[in-house]
Amino acid sequence: MATKRDYYEVLGVDKNASPEEVKKAYRKMAIKHHPDKNPDDPTAEDKFKEAAEAYDVLSDPQKKARYDQFGHQGMNGAGGGGQSMDDIFSQFGDIFGDDSPFGSFFGRGGQQQGRRVRRGSDLRIKLKLNLQEIANGVEKKIKVKRHVSCTTCGGNGSKNGTAVTTCNTCNGSGQVRKVVNTMLGQMVSTSTCPTCNGEGKMVTDRCDTCFGEGRLLQEDVIPIKIPAGVAEGIQLSVTGKGNVPPRGGVAGDLLIVVEEEEDDNLKRDGNNVVFDLHVNFVDATLGTSVEVPTIDGRARITLEPGTQGGKILRLKGKGIKELNGYGRGDQLIHINIWTPKTLSSEERSILERLRNSPNFHPKPGKNEKGFFDKMKDFFH
């Protein structure tokens, strides 16, 4: 699988480029690589799609922010691909204007002018993931209710898929033009055809299955792949798994917003996980071996004799994988000395005898780190 190029590199802009500069760069690249202008170049269509995909992300503030933070994995880690050619052409009126030589096409080779391919609405769902799934990545099958194309009529809403006729008002273009004489000369305005609502055709006999809607609401099971290292609020997308529009067009996307389930024992801190280990005074003094929970199960660690409260032990590589990277965080074990709140008379008697023992008097050495030094180590 080929590695995707950086979106800023594709459009030839830097990260601080204004929205107008991004739009201008996209217009330039789209015209340069337009398939109709490069019939002998087999790579033109791929470059054209690449530019459209880059613009789709960098022109959207939320998508741009996710891309700047997480790269390509943050945009389509669930396996979503780029836009289809129909989807790209359907947006051209907004970028190039209706009178552009490219703005009026909805398909290849200058097919029927003026009519845009309609795009269905996106679906947005929330997906809860536990710490283990976030750390290692996971494949899920998600049930969603979405509008899909009616198989009886092929999605056009007519009986047997054939009871349609071209709109007489717009002659199938989906748009009507009006010429107005002004002091500056003739001005041409374009608007959606009021007769067919921009569809370019009329249904003469409705489909018995979808009743002319061209789509049906059904439950669909969609497999998705969640990459390791995602975080709360990250949005992943699966292209073409949203709703299809009425009577033909391309489906929207399925947008998946990640929610993190709180773990009973481990806390996430970036790509590290933190565990608070409470040990009693005797074990800390004499040393011991204990089991601690980790993302991948349980691990046994050794506490050296004389372990001090506040000490942080590090289990290398036992944290969360980096999103869009190859590294992995660590597990940090914070040692807490448990001080009993109630004592029996015998326990109190033993401790009273030890109270004045020289070895029980605090004698921190120069190598004993204070709170702030430990915090420095923690963050570095």
CATH of the domain at 49: 1.10.287.110
CB 345 within 8 A of CB 351: no
Q: Got the DSSP string for 51-115?
A: HHHHHHHHTSHHHHHHHHHHHHHHHHTTS-----HHHHHHTHHHHH-TTSTTTT-SSGGG-SSSP
Give the pLDDT of residue 344: 95
The whole-number pLDDT of residue 272 equals 95
In the chain, the percentage of residues whose pLDDT exceeds 70 is: 82
Q: Is residue 126 part of a domain?
A: no
**Residue 49 is assigned to a structural domain of this protein:** yes
Q: Would you state the structure tokens that stand for residue 290, as one six-digit string?
A: 């204990």
Q: Could you tell me if residue 201 is inside a domain? A: no
Count H helices and E strands in the chain, helices first. 10, 15
The pairing of beta strand 254-260 with beta strand 123-129: parallel
DSSP helix/strand/coil, 49: helix
Q: Is residue 94 part of a domain?
A: no
Residue of 257, 225, 243, 250 lying closest to 145 (CA atoms): 243
Residue 336 lies in a domain: yes
**Binding site for Zn(2+): what residues are annotated?**
150, 153, 167, 170, 193, 196, 207, 210
pLDDT at 110: 39
Express each pLDDT in 5-33 by its tens digit.
899 999 999 988 888 899 999 988 888 88
**pTM of the complete model:** 0.59
User: Which of 73, 108, 123 is at the close of a domain?
Assistant: 73
Answer whether residue 313 is part of any domain.
yes
In angstroms, the CA 316 to CA 301 distance is 13
Lowest mean pLDDT among 97-101, 215-219, 221-225, 236-240: 97-101
Q: What is the pLDDT of residue 108?
A: 40
Looking at 15, 38, 73, which one is the last position of a domain? Answer: 73
Q: Using pLDDT thresholds of 50, 70 and 90, give the confidence band for residue 210.
A: very high
In total, the chain counts a number of residues equal to 380
**Please, are residues 135 and 295 in contact by the beta-carbon 8 Å criterion?**
yes
Residue 220 lies in a domain: no
- Kindly give the interhelix angle for 61-76 and 44-58, rounded to the nearest 10 degrees: 120
Domain boundary among 27, 57, 73: 73
Question: Considering its fold, how many domains does the chain have in total?
Answer: 2
Q: Which of 117-126, 172-181, 256-265, 328-337 has the lowest mean pLDDT?
A: 172-181
pLDDT at 100: 41
Mean of per-residue pLDDT scores for the chain: 83
Annotated binding site: 150, 153, 167, 170, 193, 196, 207, 210
Output the pLDDT for position 1. Answer: 43
Asked if the structure places residue 197 within a domain, the reply is: no
Please check the confidence at residue 78 and state whether its pLDDT lies above 90: no
Each residue of 82-136: pLDDT tens digit?
555 555 555 554 454 443 434 433 334 333 444 567 889 999 999 999 999 999 9
The CATH number for 312's domain is 2.60.260.20
Residue 156 contacts by C-beta under 8 Å, 6 or more apart in sequence? 164, 201, 203, 214, 247, 248
| CA neighbor of 97 nearest in space, from 175, 190, 197, 20 | 190
- Write out the residue range of the structural domain in which residue 288 sits: 266-377
